[in-house]
Amino acid sequence: MVDRMTSGAVAGSLGDQGIANPGTLHRSLDWRGAFWVAAGVPPLVLFSIGGIAGVAGKAAFVVWMVSMCMGFLQSFTYAEMAGMFGNKSGGASVYGATAWLRYSKLIAPLSVWCNWFAWSPVLSLGCAIAAGYILNALFPIPLATSQPVMDWVAANIGSYTAQTQAVIDYIAANPGTAADAAIQAVARTDAVAALTPAFRTWEALALTIPGLGTLHFNATFVIGVLLMLVIFAIQHRGISSTAKSQRLMAIIVLIPLLLVGLVPLLNGSIDSMNVTGIVPPTAAYAASDGVWDIGGWTLILGAMYIAAWSTYGFETAVCYTAEFRNPATDTFKAIFFSGLLCIVFFFLIPFAFQGVLGHEGMLSPGIVDGTGVGAALAGLVNGGPVITQILVILMIMALFLAIMTAMAGSSRTLYQGSRDGWLPRYLSHVNEHGAPTRAMWTDLGFNVFLLALASDATGYFYVLAISNVGYILFNFMNLNAGWIHRIDSPHLARPWKAPTLLIGINTCLAFVNAVFLGAGAKVWGYSGALWSGLIFASLILPVFWYRHYHQDKGHFPREAMEDLGLTDHGDLGPRRAGILPYLTLIAGAAVVLFSNWFFQLPG
């Protein structure tokens, strides 16, 4: 097994003299390094903590806990498959895709593609939030109650009368408001607009794409692109350099974040009323309590749908198997300890937030869009302005952690997909440091487009809802890949083997995820999110057709077949599982369609 793991074009990264062979990933990582690279997953809780509170109401912290438990159980299937392919990178989607290869050439690349377009948007979404923090720090929008606003109002109040059109419109929108109160309100609004830095409202271009959304080339976009380039430069020097940077940032970020979550528990700041009486809201982003009817369950399933994007994400710890010095032992340790780390943060932070802020506090705009989370963290520990600024800086670093993790993992998924014959050949290039730079550039280009789409509040959750369609599809296919590998590839050594009962439980969880997909994708205000995501998933078909049938003449690369213990690259091996994989796909599609039809939003 050790000989097989350390041979081949990908795994043979160290020569006899310990010198890295050119054109391959470098085996320079142990499980601790992968753990630190995956340490960017816990901050993902801050991406959607407000959004999930909006749709789950008082049940939000329970959603995070249940979702995290599901992710931890599912990771054991992925850990077994990762150990089987010690010379591959790219993560669980690559290892699981090989199980489907015998049954359909199209399903394998679909799994890899879905995983990539689910993980890759972390770059754009994270940079959008980080850009918001930077804009708030350098170009703040004045508060309506601030002294500069009051001074502006005092200097200009004489230009407003009861006949001013804006005042008339305000009274019409707020019946019963006295003229003097309306004049004050309109004047304050105009004062905030007048004193807002021009860069905050600057927009070079807004381009509407029918059926997709509007691309905003604004201040958020410019700053986000610059942040992406900085992260690209760090990762250009390879996985070892990335792991060292991640370790430093993780220690700086996660320890204070852990303390912020613990302080409310220790000082009695948790209000029991905020974490009892667990019910969904009457509607998405409504502050009133609802009931456990079909509409309420639909909201909860929608919350589970988005939570999975964060809580399952530590499976990225096994994206670097081909870069482990000892993949036979490092793969399980990396994903197991990364999972334990995530359990701590995904249990603690949502509970502390909700316990202190309550449901209404979680619905504030700054929590929902992510830009006010730093200030909210300071509020949890009763911190003053200095503590608030420190935590805002830590929030930006936390976002960097998540973005670095996403670029490292998603680029290696593209790289391995290319090596295995599913994606274009040019993606298999690595530089002298062992970094898959062409895959990284592809990630960057894709996310520049997504950043333009996510550069306003409405686009942010649209990108998230669509990308998560791919993530749930990937999880469904990969959880079923566990038992398919058991049947079709019993000859492949498994350095760590999951209990058979757990493989069965995770197979059931695959269908639970299918329910989340069918019911939950439409909860986020985009009725067509499921179909948009499925359409985007199908884009891999022409890409794969070009690579496989045009470039490779209908054959897979030799090394991809050797990974399955096959020598003839024209023979995909026996299909011992028979029709079961096909029945699984049909059943999964039926569950998604039924859930989409049965579960409906309140009202």
Q: DSSP letters of 533-581?
A: HHHHHHTHHHHHHIIIIIISTT---HHHHHHTT---TT-----TTTTHH
pLDDT of residue 581: 96
pLDDT of residue 359: 87
**How far is CA 445 from its chain centroid?**
18
Give residue 10's pLDDT band: very low, low, confident or very high (50, 70, 90).
very low
15: pLDDT strictly greater than 50: no
Dist CA 84 CA 104 (whole Å):
21
| pTM for this model (two decimals) | 0.83
1: pLDDT strictly greater than 50: no
Q: Which residue has the higher pLDDT, 355 or 143?
A: 355
pLDDT of residue 462: 76
Residue type for 581, please? P
Q: Kind and range of the H or E element at 465?
A: helix 457-488
28: pLDDT strictly greater than 80: no
Q: Which residue has the higher pLDDT, 492 or 24?
A: 492
pLDDT of residue 569: 57
- As a whole number, mean pLDDT of residues 412-424 equals 88
Query: Mind listing the pLDDT tens digit for each residue in 425-449?
Result: 899 888 887 888 899 899 889 888 8
As annotated, the residues of the chain forming the CATH 1.20.1740.10 domain(s) are 39-141+206-541+574-598
Instruction: Give whole-number Cα distances, 570 to 144, 551, 577, in Å.
Output: 70, 15, 20
Pairing assessment for the beta strands 213-218 and 203-209 based on DSSP bridges: antiparallel
pLDDT of residue 457: 64
Q: At what angle do helices 385-419 and 122-138 cross, to 10 degrees?
A: 160
Lookup: tokens for 443: 């990630």
Give residue 16's pLDDT band: very low, low, confident or very high (50, 70, 90).
very low
- As a whole number, mean pLDDT of residues 514-542 equals 88
Query: Mind listing the pLDDT tens digit for each residue in 270-296?
Result: 999 999 989 999 998 888 899 999 999
Percent of the chain scoring above 70 in pLDDT: 93
**How many C-beta atoms surround the C-beta of residue 328 within 10 A?**
18
Least confident of 145-154, 247-256, 292-301, 451-460: 451-460
Least confident of 258-267, 392-401, 491-500: 392-401
- As a whole number, mean pLDDT of residues 455-466 equals 73
Pick the CATH number of 39-141+206-541+574-598 from 1.20.1740.10, 1.10.10.350, 3.40.50.720, 3.40.50.300: 1.20.1740.10
Answer whether 34's CB lies under 8 Å from 334's CB: yes
Give residue 55's pLDDT band: very low, low, confident or very high (50, 70, 90).
very high
Question: Judging by beta carbons within 10 Å of its beta carbon (0-12, 13-18, 19+), is residue 205 exposed, middle or buried?
Answer: exposed
Percent of the chain scoring above 90 in pLDDT: 36
- As a whole number, mean pLDDT of residues 590-601 equals 95
Answer whether 524's CB lies under 8 Å from 530's CB: no
pLDDT of residue 33: 86
Strand partners for 218 = 203
Mean pLDDT of the chain: 86
- As a whole number, mean pLDDT of residues 458-472 equals 81
Residue 330, CB-side half-sphere exposure with 13 Å CA sphere: 25
pLDDT of residue 89: 80
pLDDT of residue 127: 86
Give residue 570's pLDDT band: very low, low, confident or very high (50, 70, 90).
low
Answer whether 55's CB lies under 8 Å from 301's CB: no
For 518-553, letters b (16+ CB in 10 Å) and e give: bbbbbbbebeebbebbbebbeebeeebeebbeeeee
Dist CA 52 CA 362 (whole Å):
9
Tell which residue, 75, 62, 46, 118, has the closest CA to residue 337.
75
- As a whole number, mean pLDDT of residues 521-536 equals 84
- As a whole number, mean pLDDT of residues 391-397 equals 82
Q: Helix, strand, coil proportions of the chain in percent (round to 5)? A: 70, 5, 25
